[in-house]
């Protein structure tokens, strides 16, 4: 019985509605041109904000709006180096004090270097 119920219909979603009596949103055609000489139009709603740049349909390169101002220059943050981040946390006097302490420890030879038991050759077990 269920096989007969499906006979004559497709399992794909199909709309049986028509476009009669439907008012589409007002549209405008906007023209773009890419650096390779391709020109194409894109439909946008009249109310939509028009982007200055769009991907070219033919080659995929960035295409600019014809009769447009061009894309806005983005403000780039200056690159922060390790030194810049260190100077945000400490003053130069504090850094000189820490450096003097570390140099004193190095020069005195009083650094406590712990040797891991596995690194010493006497405690290693040899496998057969």
Return binding residues for Zn(2+).
34, 38, 56, 59
For residue 13, what are the CA distances in angstroms to 10, 16, 18, 32, 110? 8, 10, 15, 35, 80
In terms of phi and psi (left: phi > 0; alpha: psi -120 to 50; beta: otherwise), the region of 4 is alpha
Q: 53 near 62, Cβ under 8 Å?
A: yes
Q: 38 near 56, Cβ under 8 Å?
A: yes
Token pair for residue 3? Answer: 């096989």
Q: Annotated binding residues, as ranges? A: 34, 38, 56, 59
């Amino acid at each position: 019985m269920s096989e007969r119920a499906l006979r004559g219909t497709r399992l794909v979603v199909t709309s049986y509605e028509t476009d009669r009596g439907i008012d589409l949103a007002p549209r405008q055609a906007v023209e773009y041109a890419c650096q390779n000489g391709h020109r194409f139009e894109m439909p946008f709603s009249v109310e939509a904000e028009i982007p200055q740049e769009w991907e070219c349909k033919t080659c995929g390169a960035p295409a600019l709006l014809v009769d447009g101002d061009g894309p806005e220059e983005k403000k780039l943050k200056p690159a922060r180096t390790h030194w810049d981040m260190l100077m945000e946390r400490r003053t130069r006097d504090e850094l000189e004090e820490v450096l003097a302490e570390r140099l004193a420890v190095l020069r005195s030879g009083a650094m406590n270097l712990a040797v891991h038991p596995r690194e010493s050759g006497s405690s290693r077990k040899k496998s057969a």
